[in-house]
Amino acid sequence: MLSIMATEPDFTVDTLGKAKIPSPITYSTVEGDAIASYVRDDERVLYDIEADVQGESKAYTPAQLLQKAGPRQKIYFSPSHVHAAIVTCGGLCPGLNDVIRAITRCLWYRYGVHRISGVRYGYQGFLPEQNIPTMELNPTVVDDIHKIGGTVLGSSRGGGDQTEAIVDTIERMNVNMLFAIGGDGTQKGALSIAEEIERRGLKISVIGVPKTIDNDLAFIQRSFGFETAVAEATGTVSSAHTEAHSAINGIGLVKLMGRDSGFIAAHTALASHEANFVLIPEVRFELDGPNGLLEHLKKRLERSGHAVVIVAEGAGQELITASDLTDASGNRKLADIGVYLKGQITSYFKKIGMSVNLKYIDPSYIIRSAVAAPTDSLYCSRLGNNAAHAAMSGKTKIIISQVNNVFVHVPIQMVVSTPNRVDPESSLWRDVIESTHQPLTMTNE
């Protein structure tokens, strides 16, 4: 006998009030009639699926279960009263336009909502001093936007901390539904906005669609754009491999995104089958010494005549900060590990008198600006649909996510307080080691 252990997260979903209005969408309420159905608020899925053979029976509280996303039979907002606003924040990510398109179309066609405003250039677009007009969104405007990269609304970083000014604008616009598409900072901003809305006693739904090309947000099984990013990055590694392979002692060095987590680097290594070393923020490595990267790189060259190294931008930061990165005022500067490694590798091989050909590739914008690949695009459209359903039914302070392959509502609070990292003991990292044949550790302890 064994049990499934409860976990601590509290997945309770906030609502603006009781949903009383019959949905204009006709679905079935009968289970088993083979007709598409509404989703009930009490349909849940388990978050934690780990178990072991021995164990005890265990009970659950509703707070430990995730609420399923989807269209409700009763909705909170009357469609004719809705003024929805959509905003995209932060760096570009494949699929932004797909999400905008899906929200707009679901609201318009399924619910009959005809006032949808695109707020331009991120949270900046809410600030009165910027004086940026909104963009009217409707099915005609969004019809083909999934075929282009970037975001038709424009984006920018920052501004999310000016909560009061933003809520002032939201009030002035009579917006009662805000869709915030963005990463950790954006969702923190959305939470502050929702809390300020609550303080003012307003009935405005705030729904997040989490955007994290690095996949570093928790409770998000798969971040939109991630697969496209890996596919694009794989092409870059292939370029690096071709260059390395065509030169005497060729070294291809590719810097990929991943400030805090190495998911893109790890997946790209697996997808390309051509990387020999993958360096990520979660796994410490040293350059020098018998078990350091440089020595292993040298051995690899001696063995095969070429090598490919992938480095996530957040990897090995501690190697640089010590000596290289304090500026005149003593501030910590952002360390570019790619350029740093390029220099270190070059001088190491110079020092030991081994001639190498290093080619360094930093594809950042090429990846970020890509059009979403088909399976990413379909994922985005499903996220967008569910975001529209959530807002219409009066949910708030949640993001839309997929967990254990089910679309669910996750409280923003949960998402912004728990980071997602590559676990060096996970099967993912193990498969990276099996694919690259890199040493289990590259430190000299």
Within residues 243-302, the interface with a copy of itself by CB under 8 A covers 243, 245-248, 267-268, 270-273, 282-283
Closest-CA residue to 5 (of 38, 36, 51, 45)? 51
Closest approach, Cβ 233 to a copy of itself, in A, equals 8
Within 164-203, the residues that bind a copy of itself by CB under 8 A are none
- Binding to a copy of itself, residues 312-331 (CB under 8 A): none
Burial 247-279 (b: 16+ CB within 10 A, else e): bebbbbbbbbbbebbbbbbbbbbbbbebbbbbb
Contact between 141 and a copy of itself by CB under 8 A: the answer reads no
- The one-letter amino acid at 415: V
Nearer to a copy of itself, 92 or 178 (CB): 92
When binding is defined by CB under 8 A, the residue of 155, 212, 344, 401 that contacts a copy of itself is: 155
Among positions 212, 215, 223, 435, the unique one binding a copy of itself when judged by CB under 8 A:
435
Sheet order of strands, 406-411 included: 65-68, 406-411, 398-403, 205-210, 177-182, 84-88, 116-119, 135-136
CA 288 to centroid of chain Cα atoms: 34
Reading the block at residue 11, the tokens are 């997945």
Q: How many residues bind a copy of itself (CB under 8 A)?
A: 113
Q: Which is nearer to a copy of itself, 277 or 429 (CB)?
A: 429
Candidates 98, 184, 214, 216; catalytic one = 214
Q: Which is nearer to a copy of itself, 124 or 194 (CB)?
A: 124
Rounded to the nearest whole angstrom, what is the least distance from the CB of residue 201 to a copy of itself in the complex? 28
| 122 φ/ψ sector (left φ>0, alpha ψ -120 to 50, else beta) | left
> Alpha carbon 307 to chain centroid distance?
30
Kindly report the backbone phi and psi dihedral angles of residue 340, in degrees, each rounded to the nearest multiple of 5, phi listed first: -60, -50
Q: Does the protein bind a copy of itself through residue 433 (CB under 8 A)? A: yes
Q: Does 65 bind a copy of itself (CB under 8 A)?
A: yes
Piece in contact with a copy of itself (CB under 8 A), picked from 29-37, 320-328, 329-337, 390-398: 29-37
Shortest spacing between CB 359 and a copy of itself, in angstroms = 5
* 429 near a copy of itself (CB under 8 A): yes
Give catalytic status of residue 214 as yes or no: yes
Q: How many CB atoms lie within 10 A of CB 357?
A: 15
Given the complex with a copy of itself, which of 197 and 383 has the nearer CB atom?
383
Q: Least distance (Å) from a copy of itself to the CB of residue 40? A: 8
* Residue 138 near residue 116 (C-beta atoms within 8 A): yes
Cα separation, 321 vs 386, whole angstroms: 43
Q: Which two tokens stand for residue 284?
A: 């410490």
- Residues that are catalytic: 214
